[in-house]
Amino acid sequence: MEAIIRKLYSLLMWGAQPFLRRKLLRRGQAEAGYLEAVDERFGCYTQPAEVASELVWVHAVSLGETRTAGILIDALRGQWPGLRVLLTHGTATGRAEGTGLLRDGDVQVWQPWDSEAAVARFFTHFKPRLGLLLETEVWPNTVACAQARGVPMALVNARLSDKSFQQAIRMAPLSRPAYAGLAAVYAQSDSDAQRLRALGATVQDVFGNLKFDATPDQAQQAQGRAWRQALGQPVLTLASSRDGEEDEFLKQIVALALSTRAQPAINTVAGAHVQVLIVPRHPQRFAEVQALVEKHGLSVSRRSTWNGTPQPADVWLGDSLGEMALYYAMSDVALLGGSFAPLGGQNLIEAAACGCPVIMGPHTFNFAEVSELAEAAGAARRVVDMDEAVRSARALLARPSEQQAAAQAGLGFAAQHRGAAANTVQALAHFLDG
């Protein structure tokens, strides 16, 4: 039965390739990176074929996973300095971020589409000795092909939300062989491990989250703190926001400003002048969010236009990539994007490591344990909706000592949970030594 299901799945993936090309063409109109080397996604490469099994394949699908991959790759190179990496991605932002991780001898290509032919060409061309999949990226044909060729595959920093688990259970004839085919799984939490084992995965250990081992950019933090100090007023940030969240946030902010007889420039969130900052999650939405802010009658200053210092405006728009440490260091409190709509939330570890208190909505199922731990540590607060989030931020900004205590709690929380990178490297020695 499982063989029949995977055959049907393979047929579907083969038949979907023209639709994938059209989707990439559409995405490429907003993000040109999607038009780069499209044939790589179907197993056609311009890079020289490997003659020996030297490459360690690291798959990091998007921007967040790529940054996590950077932590792991640095730790691996600390143990094996000559390590050659084959780095793959699924998104344009992930690929752009990944270029900074490459050294001489490394290779970067798109993740192969999970058709039997594309995956087979990928393994034939690059001959990886080991595959490391970040967090959630388990693909049936990829794992099956690796097994057939004797390439061990490990899922590192592994997580599986209850929602994703239920979906996998519904597709058990397809998902169970894929998870069971992994040589090793290193989970973020006990609950992740429990769900992964229920799908047949060989969970070797629970190491926590690799993101705790990231060191936020020190220069960015220094710049952010300097700008905040020079501003002389609190900064309230909506961080990694998603479609729909910015509009609701702005409605609450404008309503609050009007209710206090302030100018519509959001002047009295906490009885004092407050600067609002919005950092959208996806770069293709920067112009859309600017238009939305202006629709609310507010002025906008974009980070990309700042020439040495932030320019005055009702709303600052963080329209840059790779600068979350800067934005969190500028902020007195941050509302966690992706958690006010049923999208599963975003990673709040970097905010904590920068000493920025977090207010999160009800939807954090993609980062459930980290969110719960942060809340228990006093580094984050949970609210039911955007209205309560803005009111909670107002209360926190009105009490500087309470805000400072939450900031210190975040720093302590981030420091307490480090160590996953070293433990993961030690475990992977089983595959890499010799």
pLDDT in 10s for each residue of the chain, 434 residues: 777 888 899 999 999 999 999 999 999 988 899 999 999 999 999 999 998 889 999 999 998 899 999 999 999 999 999 999 999 999 999 999 999 999 999 999 999 999 999 999 999 999 999 999 999 999 999 999 999 999 999 999 999 989 899 999 999 999 999 999 999 999 999 999 999 999 999 999 999 999 999 999 999 999 999 999 999 899 999 999 999 999 999 999 888 765 544 444 444 443 457 899 999 998 889 999 999 999 999 999 999 999 889 999 999 999 998 899 999 999 999 999 999 999 988 889 999 999 999 999 999 988 888 999 999 999 999 999 999 999 999 999 999 999 999 999 999 999 999 999 999 999 999 999 86
- Catalytic pick from 2, 50, 65, 246? 65
What sections of 204-331 are H helices per DSSP?
218-231, 245-259, 286-295, 324-330
pTM of the shown model: 0.83
Number of H helices, E strands in the chain: 18, 14
Predicted confidence at residue 257, as pLDDT, reads: 63
Q: What is the rounded CA–CA span in Å between residue 343 and residue 360?
A: 12
Predicted confidence at residue 261, as pLDDT, reads: 45
Both tokens of residue 272? Answer: 């004092």
Do 236 and 277 touch, CB atoms closer than 8 A?
A: yes
Residues 6+ apart with CB under 8 A from 59: 87, 88, 89, 111, 131, 132, 133, 134, 137
Active site residue 288: no
Greatest Cα pair distance in the chain? 72
